[in-house]
Structure 1
Amino acid sequence: MDTQNRNTDDECDSGANLRASSYYVLRASHRCAQCGASTPVFALAVPPDHESTEGDLELDEDGDCTGLDPGAFHQWLFSPAQWQRIEGPALLSQVGILSAPVMRTLHALAPTVRQNPERNGQWTNFCAHCGTAVWEGALYPTPGQPFCPKDDAAAAQIGVQAVEEPLAAFTAMCWTDGYRNKWPLFKRLGVACSKTD
């Protein structure tokens, strides 16, 4: 855990807004919208107790984000980055920057994931058959999609490779345990989620 808490120059220079002492590479199947073939798709997730520089967002009863109030947003926007410990796990989406060791691991474990120049270098899944970029909106948000399993049986179909090395990344979206529809996925990672009052 010690490596996670070090704020290295490399992390600052890379523009990372999320770091963890370990991470997961997830693998699922998806039917390509372009060619119709089943293709492997991959995602990154981090365990509880990762760190982020993003502001805490409040979720309403339905799991929708209510956003930061204007004063908190202004303070967050203009203050220096401060690392916060996040108690729960997270599924990463819209990843724009990865540290070099994570890039090497991703190349080895997720061969159809690469930077997409049409998405400003965002790390993207590509169909293994036709080479078309796979839209993240078809993978993450809705129950029944590859990284949003409806139940434990669907979650069991997701391959999980634990990587016991630090992760530093810039991600524009994190699906946390505040999103109840992610609970079967997080249970697959060994993290039990429950409603807290």
Structure 2
Amino acid sequence: MARIDLNVPFAQKDDAKRLGARWDGDRKVWYVPDGVNPGAFGRWLPALPDINVRASNYFIAQSETHCWKCRELTQVFGFILPSGHEALEPDDEEDDRDVWYRHDEPTILNYVTELLPAVANRIKTMTRHYRVDFSKTTGSSYWMNHCEACGMKQGDFELFCEPDGAFFPMDEQAASQIVLQTFSEPFGGCADTSYGDHLFDSMRRT
């Protein structure tokens, strides 16, 4: 289970510490470590979005594509979760109940509708062209790429679901054009997941 960051006022830090919270000096935040029941920290829990995927760390993937509107080359971004991430899925034994299921292979996310605030802030520091917008095609809003030249929306289907799309490489050469930046911090979001041979090992790490 991914750790949970807390909103602890300075005056209450000793109370949080006594309950088992730990201090992350790099990020300047108190958090609930793995294995500790978060129930005791209710007064400090942040308001979180509904999520169906989570992980203790994640990648932001960067590639490029030609804008379908102006044909200029533009940078595009996405999220990849490593093996060991968890996804909320229907319980095989109880149809009306979802359970967290651990996956032993990576997944690339698409149609991301929710992100933990820390993750949203992280992607915002990398680009202003990946943001929430409304899609007439899906009739919904999600985090999507926009052309750096003309500002046109770049839909997730073409980038993530079409073979030879920016994030759907069909050979090792194409996969090597995708650059992965690793973030050793919790990920949480609501998104579609995609499994299969996406040639993750051939993508470049920074």
TM-score, normalising length: structure 2:
0.72
Q: Report the aligned-residue RMSD.
A: 2.6
Structure of larger gyration radius: 2
Corresponding residue of 2:193: 174
Does structure 2 retain, via aligned residues, the 8 Å contact 1:25–1:109? Answer: no
**How far apart in 1 are the matches of 2:47 and 2:86?**
13
Bigger relative contact order, structure 1 or 2 (CA pairs below 8 A, ≥6 apart): 1
Query: 1-side partners of 2:63 and 2:182: how far apart?
Result: 15
Residue 18 in 1 paired to residue 53 in 2? yes
Give the Å deviation of 1:95. 0.5
Task: Report the Cα offset of residue 120 of structure 1.
Answer: 3.4
In the alignment, what sits opposite 1:48? 83
Aligned partner of 1:102 in structure 2 is: 119
Q: Report the equivalent of 1:87.
A: 104
Higher helix share: 1
2:57 touches 2:183 (CA, 8 Å); kept in 1?
yes
CA distance in 2, matches of 1:41, 1:13: 26
- 1:157 and 1:133 map into 2 onto residues whose CA distance is 22
Deviation at 1:141, TM superposition (A): 1.9
CA displacement 1:40-76 (0-9 Å, x = unmatched): 11010000000111248xxxxxxxxxxxxxxx5x934
Question: Higher strand share goes to which structure?
Answer: 2
Q: Which residue of structure 2 aligns with residue 123 of structure 1?
A: 143
The CA distance in 1 between the partners of 2:78 and 2:126, in whole Å, is 11
Q: Does 1:114 align with 2:131?
A: yes
Matched, 1:32 2:67: yes
> Normalising by structure 1, what TM-score?
0.75
Aligned length: 166
Deviation at 1:123, TM superposition (A): 0.4
The 1:48/1:189 distance shift into structure 2, 3 A limit, reads farther
Equivalent residue for 2:201, pick from 182, 187, 190: 187
Are the equivalent residues in 1 in contact too, given 2:61–2:180 (CA < 8 A)? Answer: yes
Shift of 1:11: 8.5
Residue 141 to residue 24, structure 1, CA distance change in 2 (3 Å):
same
Structure 1 residues 13 and 103: alpha-carbon distance in aligned structure 2, compared to 1, 3 A threshold: closer
